[in-house]
Structure 1
């Protein structure tokens, strides 16, 4: 029970900074997008979203999180190349999910993350 409460508290605590990022993005037209940043060693779900890069637009601004998630969002003010860690995750996703889609791709990614200690 303590672990569950800690996870919920973490998610709720991080909600403030996440809302600040998404609200700033929605209200300031000079911001072109945002990217997810994992804190520490992210889970497979979070790493999948980090690997998407700065794709979040005004129509997809919602920050999805789960208990124990410590990810944040970083605003992007101009289009630029993705950072090396994002490009590396994109390559690993392609490798892990080659020829797969949907739930099969997600399950393959989870196995890959576990096997490679990402």
Structure 2
């Protein structure tokens, strides 16, 4: 297998591992959430919080390890040598725990508000409470996936900062990226100050991957870069205005595709 083929394979394996980590955690958090009563979920006791933090931490650990594994594999494909251990700063477990706690309270805030609003002997209130519970669980699970994938993203960010062999990086998008990620991807390895390479939303599986001398961006990612760049160049405006227009138009098309896909599924049922 050639250097380029090994480099490409390492990136694809890492991407798929991250998707699996995120999606698996989403299922575990959803299952755990179904075992909570609305009152217990809204209260967010220390016991409940520890359970949620443990779920996130376990997946984030796996993600971080995958990030280290991938960087070494990609670097070795290009340079024949893995990175030294000093490239990685290591995880800040206290900070990770704090982020999980903040995520919990942010996404359960509507549930707490709803549970204080009505009476448990009111059927209409019970219905609204069930809907609030489902929405909070859905949003919490999605954000748990984002926090988990941050493990690998953190490992790669540390390597970008500390590994002199890294000559650049690029955004590998998932199958249905948002306008922001598509805009970042359109730049290839060229970034400017307003394009944060480590900004990701819940449900996003895009990745910021390193480049080394001796290898090129995988052909699939280069094709997407070119596709998004054509769209960017055709977008009206300049600077921040062009950025807003690009994201608005891209996200509107994305929304229409998703709605059409949902309608198609419903029609087939």
Question: TM (normalized to structure 1)?
Answer: 0.78
Is 2:206 the partner of 1:68?
A: no
2-side partners of 1:47 and 1:109: how far apart? 9
Q: CA RMSD in A?
A: 2.7
The answer to whether the 8 Å contact 1:35/1:54 transfers is: yes
Is 2:188 the partner of 1:53?
A: yes
The runs of 5 or more residues in structure 2 that have no matched partner are: 1-135, 258-269
The answer to whether the 8 Å contact 1:34/1:74 transfers is: yes
| Aligned residue in 2 for 1:10 | 145
The answer to whether the 8 Å contact 1:35/1:73 transfers is: yes
CA 1:85–1:36 in 2, change beyond 3 Å: closer, same or farther? same
Counterparts of residues 1-118 of structure 1 (less than 5 Å):
1-56=136-191, 63-78=198-213, 83-95=222-234, 97-102=235-240, 104-113=241-250, 114-115=252-253, 117=257
CA 1:15–1:22 in 2, change beyond 3 Å: closer, same or farther? same
SS at match of 1:88: helix
Structure number with the higher helix fraction is 2
SS at match of 2:161: helix
Question: TM (normalized to structure 2)?
Answer: 0.37
- Deviation of 1:101 after TM superposition, in Å, equals 3.4
The runs of 5 or more residues in structure 1 that have no matched partner are: none
- Deviation of 1:100 after TM superposition, in Å, equals 3.8
Render the CA deviation track for 1:48-84: whole Å, top value 9, x for unaligned. Answer: 1111211259xx8851112222111211013857812
Render the CA deviation track for 1:26-69: whole Å, top value 9, x for unaligned. Answer: 11111101111112211111111111211259xx8851112222
1-side partners of 2:169 and 2:253: how far apart? 29
2-side partners of 1:17 and 1:94: how far apart? 32
Q: Which has the higher contact order (CA 8 A, sep 6+)?
A: 1
CA 1:29–1:9 in 2, change beyond 3 Å: closer, same or farther? same
Render the CA deviation track for 1:6-33: whole Å, top value 9, x for unaligned. Answer: 2211210110111111111111111101
2-side partners of 1:8 and 1:24: how far apart? 24
Q: How many residues align?
A: 113
